[in-house]
Amino acid sequence: MKLNNLTPAVGSTKTSKRVGRGQGSGKGGTATRGTKGAKARAGYEHKVGFEGGQMPLQRRLPKFGFTNPTRVEYQAVNLPTIQAIAEKLGVKEVDADMIKAAGFAAKTDLIKVLGNGEITAALTVKADAFSKTAISKIEAAGGKAVVTE
């Protein structure tokens, strides 16, 4: 076996269709493009969403909805997660940086503590926001909920 006698496996390659080579090729005249229209012409490039002059889908459908430009989005973290972080690190105070370092929120996320689940340890929890049930459960366990700016 040498480089000059290497060939692709049988059936792995196809010969390309040679179009625009005259009548003798069997694909003369229109060169397999059909008759007339933009697609038969040279230089045709379709626009995204163009439907041949028919009213495009994005213009047929009505506008709807509203995006509030001043919306503040929080990453939700539940109480058992906070207790697990505190137990793993062996601390009595959990803040947003610890939650982010543990991988429960991205670096730029704001964190809201929700009251789903139970907490037994008396922890001081610092976050951007708390739900009412989260505050009551943290305080019932002997801890404090501190809102950071």
User: In this structure, what CATH number is given to the domain that contains residue 83?
Assistant: 3.100.10.10
pLDDT of 10 > 90? The answer is yes
pTM of the prediction?
0.59
pLDDT at 77: 95
Confidence of residue 5 (pLDDT cuts 50, 70, 90): very high
Looking at the predicted structure, is the pLDDT value of residue 106 above 90?
yes
In a domain, 14, yes or no: no
Q: Is the pLDDT of residue 149 over 90?
A: no
The rounded mean pLDDT for the chain is 93
Question: Is residue 53 domain-resident?
Answer: no
Strand partners for 126 = 146
83 occurs within a structural domain: yes
Residue 20 within any structural domain of the chain:
no
Q: What is the distance between the terminal CA atoms of the chain, rounded to a whole angstrom?
A: 73
In a domain, 140, yes or no: yes
pLDDT at residue 32, as a whole number = 92
Q: Tokens for 118?
A: 């139970």
Query: Mean pLDDT throughout 76-105?
Result: 93
Residue 142 in domain: yes
Q: What is the mean pLDDT of residues 18-45?
A: 91
Q: Is residue 48 part of a domain?
A: no
Question: In terms of residue numbers, what domain contains 93?
Answer: 74-147
| Number of compact structural domains in the chain | 1
In a domain, 105, yes or no: yes
The pLDDT-based confidence of 52 (bands split at 50, 70, 90) is confident
Element (H, E) at 97: helix 96-101
